[in-house]
Every structure is written in structure tokens, then in C-alpha cells.
Structure 1
């Protein structure tokens, strides 16, 4: 199998040539075969072993086995130990998810600190089947059926074309030793149930099941690429991006025969799970929101707005003292005494300096705030009503700062000044406040 493996590396993983490779090695059959294959193929390798301390002395037996193998074959060895159970409890994760997060975070640390190029894992064709069936049972989308990727950034899985039987036969023929993980014999985990019961049944029904499955996955991968291409083309017509904020034009979206599929394709990587709620958001009233852990989707008139969740103290305020000419947080403002009014605008206002009570206060608006918009003859208006009339989105409202003098609004920054600080004929000191 070594020659077959070398040919596969040349055909699909030629980028690994002359690179420093970090091999994730548990001590089990799959990872020990991977180490042996790469060692015999003369690659520059190192072994990385994680002791998750989940199986008592057995875990330390795995650690000692892998370390002794590395020493015997003069292979650089990296070791770490985790209190996986404590980590899982602290972050309210399953043991499997906790172990995955811990090991991959550590792999990346070793990669960077020790100058290795890629992390290699020993996932194989049977792992692909199990993952497919797990995703099928959970009702995943097309991406869940396309298989474990051969490469994901610095993570490379060079053994996906090999079956568990291929790996076992190679290990037996080469006289390799490995450790058996006792937890693999238990049906406690869904993956083990599928491995022990469902996959053998499928193989018994069709002796060529592995070949047929791999062919099917290839077709699914082609279909996924077509979907991605179509999604990208439509995205350019329907979605506008401004920095980290995305605006989905609902008029254009609803012209599509299957707009839900496009929404799913565009939003799936942002952590959303309540897809029915998202689809209903299209017909909801303005202001309704759907949240993921890090993002939110807002219905705003004829658009959906996707933005990161910004955790900000609503009571946060900043003082602007009389002697200050430049203010840099949270906005950049300049304050300067001038002799006359030149080019006033929403971003550059002129006020009667003698009416100001310092320090001025810069803070976010809250419901109930009102002001007297410049040019409206002293009539009061709720800020919420002003924002509505200006057709400002929820994001724009949340991003708006208000400059106060005592309990009186001086300026809705960048939007409208207040009538009460208007420069008049009797004004003696003019102050220009500008948003830079």
C-alpha cells in the first residue's frame, strides 16, 4: 500500500513535499498507520499527542506508547495533557466537543511556535460514512453530505481514500503495534452506534457499498459547488456589504423562485439555527430581530440587515471639557471658536458658545429623549420620531450619539442640531463643532 499511498500524495497532496508536518497521533490504529506511511515515505514529520485524561491509566498508557514510539524512531514529539472534563463543565460543552476544541487549539499553537506547516489527521473513508449518517440523522443541509474535506486551511486529511479495512490490513502486514481505545467498544456515543451496527448492515447489503458511497459523495460535492456558484451570482445582485454589515434587498430576494434556499446559503456560516424564524422574518414588521451567538438579523422596511452583535454599555458617556479642542473617543470631534458661520451642515454645526454648560456630555440616546430640531421654530420632537421620519434603520439608531449641555440636547451628532443653541444676531461667541 505504500506505493499506492505515495502516488496519491503526489496526485492530491503534492503541496506537502518538503514541508514540516505535524501528525496528530492518538496511538490508535489509524494514526499509527499514518505515522508509519509518512515515515516510510521520507517526509519530515513530528508527532503531537493529547492526553485528555478521560480513561484513567489507559490514557497514560496511550501517552507512554506514543512517546516511546517517537523516541525509538527519532521523531520529534510534542505532548500536552488536558483536564477535559473540567473544561467541558466550565464551558457547558459535551466531552467530545470540548476535546475537539482543546486539541485543535493546541495543534495550532505547536504549529506556530515550532514552525510546522500543516497538521495531519488520520480520518479515513469509514469516518466519512459515519459523519454522513450522523448529519443525515440531524437533518443537515447539503454541506453535511459532501464529506470531511481533505484540506481545511492548515489541517490536511491525506487518508480519506483509505477504508478502515485497508488500514487494518496494512498494519497487520507491516507488523505495526497500536493501542485500542476501550471507549470505541461502547455504544454510548452516536458515532459508535453507527459504526458498530448501521455501517456493517449497509456493507452487507451491498459488497461495493464503499465504492458506491464515495462516488455518490463525489456527485454531491459537484452539486455543492454548483450551488455555491449560483449563490455567489445571485448574492451580487441582492446583497450589499458595508464593512461588517450586510444588507439583503427583499424586493430582489422575493423575485427568486426559492429565496429560502439562498437565505440559508448566505447565512449558514453565521451561527443561525432558527431557520423557520428567519424565513418568516421576510414578512415580519420592521424591527423584528433574530439572533445567533455573534450576529443578528434585523428586518428593516424592505431589507434584512445582518450585523455583528456589539456588546456596549448603554449608560456609557464621555465628558467634553471647555478647554478641549479635539475629542477622539468614541467619535472624533473638533471644537473651535470662530468669527463667522461658514458652510454649516449636519456634520459641522455652529452654536452660541455662551449658552453651553460645560462639561458637555456625549452619550447614546434613550427612549423618551426629545429635542428642538434646528429650523422648526422651537417645536419639540421625540428622538424616536425624528429617527423614524429620517427613515433610519435600527443599526443607524443604535450607532447615533447625542451631545448634551446639562439636560438639553445640543446636537444629534451627524444628524441635526438643536434650535436652542442657534447662533443669533446678539451672539457674541461662536463655537464650531465638527464631526471629523
Structure 2
């Protein structure tokens, strides 16, 4: 096994032969075998160990065992205690998810502080098969069917080519010591249930079942590479940055992809969305329709989809189409309604009255564009809005925040500032619109 492990590192992870790294160690048989293999190859590494304080004396016994082991072998060790139970309760997580979040956050922190690029974990082939079955049972795409990846960012798993049986045999032949986690015997956890009851049945179907699964996993990984290449090429054509926080999806180009739903799923799956049918239908929905996730919003805006964080000021970058009257919008405090002709119709900065028959629907609410002109009420002729800004001594922030109401791209009103003369009411006006901006 040592020769196969060495060859595997040389082929797949040659940088581990030259650079120091961390090994995440629980004290169980898998991580102790990984340490022994790395030690026999004279690699440079240190141990990271988490005590989740969940199993009382058993957890402390594992920590004490590793302290003594590291001292005897002269291997640097870093130990972190966690109040996992409280963390799980406070963050509304299961114990398993809480422990995972705590340990990987701590791993990243240690790596950043000490400038260590790689962390090794002792996941093996059986772990990958269990993950495959879990993902298959829950419904998954290609990513979930490749099992556990050999490397994910800075996390490296060099034992994935070995089975649990091979690891156990190596440990026995080399007289290694380890600590058994009693929780691994309980079937109340999904992974343990699969390990104890389902995997043995699958292995009974074929003498080389694990080897066949490993080969299938490699085929799926190769397929994933092809898929990722196709996704990246299409992404460059369809998606662009509006700014640092807003992504724009060109709907005309998106809909040419077959099936476009697959591309959308891959591009959006890391943003927390779950209502996939609603997202797929968004491409043909009305402007203004949007779907939310805990962190992001996807908005239909005419011939595009806009993706933005929930805390970003997306309204600075889009146009809102106003198709129906009365109309109101909470994000932009504007209200449009029909007005009785007998109602006092004196316009002010925050309330104007316009001739409904002079406008074309939909009205569009947007930010100003360079080159926009309007005919200020009470003045003769037209004026560039940029010149109006200059005359009114607008700051850059005020320019960026100025909303404009348009009819067929003609300015009706600079909200809160000046009405356009072309849409004012006259003695012949039959229908009046009252537009308020608070």
C-alpha cells in the first residue's frame, strides 16, 4: 500500500511531496493510517484535531491519545475544543452539520494564519460510495454522483483510491494504534445506516463492486470536466457583469441553449435557490417577476435576468415598466392614479398632474442616461438633463440617485424635481394622472 500511495501522490498531488501541509486527524483508524503513510514517506506535515465535546470521556480520551502520539513522534499538533451542542442550537443545525461547519471554519483559519496551502483528510473509497448513495437518495445532478472529489479547493483526499478493508489490513500489518468512535456503531445516522446495511448488500452483488464503483466514479469525473468546459463557454457568451454585485443573463442567448434550464441550474445552484421550476419559468415571465433565495434575488427585467445580493441596491441599474394604473412601488415610493378633473391640479416637486392621453404605456422608471433631454415645465425649449444637474449643482451621489419617469423614452418627470412641459394638463385634457413621489 505504501508504494501505491507514493505513486498516487507523484501522479496526482506532486506538490505534497515538496510542501508542508496539515492532516485532519480524529484518532480513528483512517486518519492514523494516513499519518503513518505520510510519515514513512518523510513528508512535512502537522496535525489538526477537533474535540467536539460530544462524547464526554471518550472525546477527551481521543485527544489525550493524539497528544501522546504526537509527542512520541515529534509531530506538531494543534487542538481545538468546540461547544458543538450550543453552536447547533444557536444556528439551528443538526449536530453533524454543526460539527462540519466548526471544523472546516477552524481549518481554514489555521491555514490562513500559518500560510499552509493544503489540508489532507482521510476519506476513502467506502466514504465516497456512501456519499454517492446519500446524494442519489436525495435527488442530485452530476456533481452529487461523482462521490467525494479527490481535491476541493485546498482540501486533498489522497486515500480515495483505497477501500476500508485495505486501510484496516494496513493498520493491522503495521501494528498501528487508533481510537474507535462509538457513535460509528449507531444506525440512527443516515451514513452509518448505509454503511452497515446497504453497502454490504451491494458488495454482495459483485466481488469487485467497490473497484467497479471507483471506475464509474472516474468516468463521471471525466464527464464533469467536459460539462464544465461547455458551461464555461456558454457562460462567457450569456452572462455579463453590470457592476461588482449584479450579474446580467441575456435571455435571447440563454433561450438558444438546449436545454437552457440545465445551464441555469448549474450557474445558479451555488446562490441558495430551491424553487427551480419558478426560476425556469422566469425566462418567459412578465418584467418585474422575481425569485428569491436566502442570499440572492433573480429578477426578470425585459430581455434579461438580473442576479444580485439581497442587500444590494439593484434598483439603481434596472428599469421598472409600469403597465397598469393605479400603480405603487414600495422600493421606490411612487404612486400613480387617475384623478378627477375637478381635483385641484397644481403640480409641486413631489406631486405632478399629467395628461393621460399624451403618454404611451408602459411608463418606464429608470436612472438618467447621458444624452437625456427634457422640456422643463415653465421654461422655453429643451434642456439636457446633465446641464440641468450642473445648473442645480447636483453632487455625483445626487446624479446617481435621480429617478426619471419616461414615456417611449421621453422624459415625463425628474422625480421630486421638475415636470416635462409636453405632458402638462391643459383646458382640453380629458383624463388626468396624478403621480406622487414621497
2:356 paired with 1:389? no
Once the two structures are superposed, residues 144-164 of structure 1 have per-residue CA deviations (whole angstroms, 9 ceiling, x without a partner) of 012212122221111111110
Instruction: Give the 3-state SS of the residue equivalent to 2:105 in structure 1.
Output: helix
Once the two structures are superposed, residues 322-349 of structure 1 have per-residue CA deviations (whole angstroms, 9 ceiling, x without a partner) of xxxxxxxx9xxxxxxxxxxxxxxxxxxx
Once the two structures are superposed, residues 292-324 of structure 1 have per-residue CA deviations (whole angstroms, 9 ceiling, x without a partner) of 121111112222111111167x9xxxxxxxxxx
Give 1:22 shift.
Answer: 0.9
Aligned to 2:334: 367
CA distance in 2, matches of 1:26, 1:300: 51
Q: Is the 1:372–1:418 contact (alpha carbons within 8 Å) kept by the matching residues of 2?
A: no
Return 5+ residue gaps in structure 2 as ranges.
317-330, 338-345, 382-389, 398-438
CA distance in 2, matches of 1:252, 1:87: 45
Instruction: Give the 3-state SS of the residue equivalent to 1:236 in structure 2.
Output: helix
Aligned to 1:259: 260
Give 1:435 shift.
Answer: 2.7
Aligned to 1:273: 274
Aligned to 1:348: none
Once the two structures are superposed, residues 345-383 of structure 1 have per-residue CA deviations (whole angstroms, 9 ceiling, x without a partner) of xxxxxxxxxxxxxxxxxxx84133899799xxx75599x
Aligned to 1:65: 65
Over 3 Å counting, the alpha-carbon distance change for 1:46 and 1:257 in structure 2 is: closer
CA distance in 1, matches of 2:395, 2:362: 24
Aligned to 2:157: 157
Over 3 Å counting, the alpha-carbon distance change for 1:386 and 1:131 in structure 2 is: farther
Aligned to 2:232: 232
Q: How does 1:7-406 map to 2 (within 5 A)?
A: 7-243=7-243, 244-310=245-311, 365-368=332-335, 380=354, 389-390=363-364, 392=366
Q: Is the 1:373–1:416 contact (alpha carbons within 8 Å) kept by the matching residues of 2?
A: no
Once the two structures are superposed, residues 126-171 of structure 1 have per-residue CA deviations (whole angstroms, 9 ceiling, x without a partner) of 1110000000001011110122121222211111111101100000
Instruction: Give the 3-state SS of the residue equivalent to 2:21 in structure 1.
Output: strand
Give 1:252 shift.
Answer: 2.5
Q: Which moved more, 1:285-294 or 1:228-237?
A: 228-237
Q: Is the 1:373–1:419 contact (alpha carbons within 8 Å) kept by the matching residues of 2?
A: no
Once the two structures are superposed, residues 199-257 of structure 1 have per-residue CA deviations (whole angstroms, 9 ceiling, x without a partner) of 11111111111111111111111221222222222223322322332222222322333
Over 3 Å counting, the alpha-carbon distance change for 1:423 and 1:264 in structure 2 is: same
Instruction: Give the 3-state SS of the residue equivalent to 2:89 in structure 1.
Output: helix
Q: Which moved more, 1:233-242 or 1:170-179?
A: 233-242
Between the two proteins, the alignment pairs up a number of residues equal to: 361
Q: Is the 1:247–1:306 contact (alpha carbons within 8 Å) kept by the matching residues of 2?
A: yes
Over 3 Å counting, the alpha-carbon distance change for 1:372 and 1:93 in structure 2 is: farther
CA distance in 2, matches of 1:95, 1:279: 34
CA distance in 2, matches of 1:206, 1:303: 51
Return 5+ residue gaps in structure 1 as ranges.
315-329, 331-363, 393-399, 401-410
TM-score, structure 2 normalization: 0.75
Aligned to 1:337: none
2:396 paired with 1:435? yes
Q: Is the 1:286–1:300 contact (alpha carbons within 8 Å) kept by the matching residues of 2?
A: yes
CA distance in 2, matches of 1:367, 1:414: 25
Over 3 Å counting, the alpha-carbon distance change for 1:387 and 1:419 in structure 2 is: farther
TM-score, structure 1 normalization: 0.75
